[in-house]
Amino acid sequence: MFNTSPDRQIRIERLSKFLRDLPIREVATYEALSDHLGEDVKSDRIALIRARKVAERETGMRFATVHGEGVKKLDAAAIPGIGEEVRKGIARKARRQSERLVGLKYNDIDGPMQARIDAERSILGAIAATANVKAEKVEIHTSTGPIVPSRIFQVSQE
Q: Report yes or no on 1 lying in a domain.
A: no
pTM value > 0.85 = no
Domain boundary among 43, 76, 109: 76
Residues 117 and 86 grouped into a single domain: yes
Predicted local confidence at residue 85, as pLDDT: 86
Residues 64 and 118 grouped into a single domain: no
Residues 72 and 23 grouped into a single domain: yes
Residues 96 and 66 grouped into a single domain: no
Predicted local confidence at residue 75, as pLDDT: 92
Structural domain total, the chain? 2
Q: Please say whether the beta carbons of 46 and 84 come within 8 A.
A: no
Residues 21 and 56 grouped into a single domain: yes
Residue 25 to residue 71: CA distance in whole angstroms: 10
| 99-118 pLDDT per residue, tens | 898 877 777 888 888 889 88
Q: Indicate if the pLDDT at residue 93 is higher than 70.
A: yes
Predicted local confidence at residue 135, as pLDDT: 57
Alpha helices in 3-44 (DSSP H): 6-21, 30-37
| 40-61 pLDDT per residue, tens | 998 989 999 999 999 999 999 9
Residues 132 and 102 grouped into a single domain: yes
Predicted local confidence at residue 107, as pLDDT: 78
- Domain encompassing residue 108: 79-155
Mean pLDDT of 136-144: 58
Residue 48 to residue 141: CA distance in whole angstroms: 46
